[in-house]
Chain A
Amino acid sequence: MTDIAVAPPRPQTIWGRVGDFLVRRPESTIAVVALALAAYFAVVNPAFLSTANIRIISQYMIATAILAAGQVMLLISGEIDLSMGNVYFMTPFLVFFASEAGLVLPLAIVVGVLGAGVVGYLNGAISLGFGIPSFIVTLGMGFIINGFTLNISDGFPKRVPSTAVGVAIFGGANFSGLMWVIIIITGMHLILTYSRWGVYTVAVGGNPLGASEAGVPSRNIKMRNFILAAMLAGFAGVIEGIRVGSFDPGAGVAGAKVFESVAAAVIGGTALTGGSGTIIGAFLGALVLGILRDGFNLEGVSAFTFTMVLGAAIILAMILNSLANKARIRSQSARL
Chain B
Amino acid sequence: MPADTVQLLSPSRRNFLKALGMTAAIGLINACTNDGATATTAAGGTGGTGSTAATGGSGAGNFPETPEWSFTFVNHVTTNPFFVPTVYGIEDASAILGTTFQWTGSEIADNAEMVNAMEAAIAAEADGIGVCLVDLEAFNGPTDEALAAGIPVIAYNADTPPGNPNNRLCYVGQDLYGSGFEMGNRIVELVGEGKVALFIATPGQLNIQPRIDGAMDAITESGAAIEATAITTGAALEEELTNVEAWYLGNQDATGMFAVDAGSTQAVGQVVRDQNARDNALVGAGGYDLLPETVELVSEGVLDFTIDQQPYLQGFLPTLYLYLYKLSGGVVTPPETNTGLVFLDSASAQLFLETASRFEGDAAEQAIVEPVG
Contacts and interface: CB of A to CB of B under 8 A. Distances in A.
Interface stretch (B58-66, B119-127, B279-287): B119-127
Interface stretch (A67-75, A96-104, A290-298): A290-298
A224 B296 CA distance: 56
Interface in A154-195: 154-157, 159-160
A172 to B, nearest CB: 10
A14 B236 CA distance: 57
A299 B5 contact: no
A324 to B, nearest CB: 6
A40 interface: yes
Contacts of A240: 112
Contacts of A309: 29-30, 33
What band does the interface of chain B fall in when counting residues whose beta carbon is under 8 Å from A? 35 or more
Nearest to A36: B23
Contact of A11 (B2, B23, B33): B2
B265 to A, nearest CB: 19
Contact of A305 (B48, B125, B136): B48
A298 to B, nearest CB: 5
A304 B26 contact: no
Interface string B13-44: 00100110011011101100110000101000
B25 A19 contact: no
Given A157-B136, A159-B137, A297 B33 contact: no
Contact of B110 (A13, A55, A250, A330): A250
Interface residues of A, number: 72
26 contacts: A16-B2, A19-B5, A36-B19, A59-B112, A157-B136, A159-B136, A244-B135, A245-B141, A246-B135, A246-B137, A251-B234, A297-B124, A298-B120, A301-B30, A302-B46, A302-B104, A304-B41, A306-B104, A307-B107, A316-B22, A316-B25, A316-B26, A320-B23, A326-B15, A327-B11, A334-B7
Contacts of B320: none
Contacts, number: 197
A155 B236 contact: no
Interface of B: 2-5, 7-8, 11-12, 15, 18-19, 22-23, 25-27, 29-30, 33-34, 39, 41, 45-49, 70, 72, 75, 78-79, 100-105, 107-112, 115-117, 119-125, 135-138, 140-141, 202-204, 232, 234-236
A207 interface: no
B102 A302 contact: yes
A52 B124 CA distance: 10
A5 interface: no
Given A23-B8, A245-B140, A305-B39, A252 B108 contact: yes
